[in-house]
Amino acid sequence: MADNFVEFAKGQMGAVERLLKGLPGISGYIDKDMRRDADKRVREAIAASLAQSQAALTGVQNALLKGGGLAMMDEVNDVAVNMQTLTDRIKTASYGYAGLFDPVRIKEQQLDALVRFDRAMAQEVGAINTSIAALAQAVKERTDVASAIDQLGAKVQELNVLFSKRGEAIQAPGLLDDPGYAPPPGDLPTTTE
């Protein structure tokens, strides 16, 4: 996903940017700047997907209320609040690398690890949507609603933990040097759309 945004940014480069990119020592910084922009766009896309998920959850809440599920509303509301908090965290998160003159430098392999975090987060949003659909079905059939709420809450928590790890890695990029810290490359698709 982030790779698509990086390629788009490269395609939008003007003549001056291409010239600067050709200068020794500057190319890496321009690439990092494009990756920084891609990181922001990926987070915006993930936050927008979560906002859509939250709208779907609101529909499920309404169906639950109409079906007499008032007793379960506190649990569903807790999940909805956690989703909104997570969405807000993702929207306002730090960029995915340190700037040209910042004291902290993030290396290319660390940026790749951040991309793996983003891909994993996008997959988790998909899993949240699947859980919302399962909850909607449970509400409709009036079967095992509590279990469906628990599963959705667990998926939101998994994404929250994943995003927290990503945030820790941005604050301390050395964490990304540990191969077990970020999601492994083999578990994730190369593109998500």
- Give the pLDDT confidence of 107-137 residue by residue, as tens digits: 777 778 877 888 899 899 999 999 999 999 9
In the numeric block, which tokens belong to residue 23? 């200068």
Contact 115, 3 (CB under 8 A): yes
Q: What is the pLDDT of residue 118?
A: 84
The greatest distance separating any two alpha carbons of the chain, rounded to the nearest whole angstrom, comes to 68
Contact 124, 159 (CB under 8 A): yes
In the numeric block, which tokens belong to residue 119? 């891909």
Q: What is the pLDDT of residue 109?
A: 79
pLDDT higher for 148 or 187?
148
Q: Is 0.85 surpassed by the pTM of this model?
A: no
- Give the pLDDT confidence of 67-118 residue by residue, as tens digits: 877 888 899 999 999 999 999 998 887 665 554 445 456 677 777 887 788 8
Nearest to 83 by CA among 154, 165, 179: 154
Confidence of residue 56 (pLDDT cuts 50, 70, 90): very high
**The most confident of 36-40, 85-89, 101-105, 170-174, by mean pLDDT:** 85-89
Confidence of residue 11 (pLDDT cuts 50, 70, 90): low
Residues near 47 by Cβ (< 8 Å), separated by ≥ 6?
87, 90, 91
Q: What is the pLDDT of residue 50?
A: 93
Nearest to 90 by CA among 134, 56, 57, 53: 53
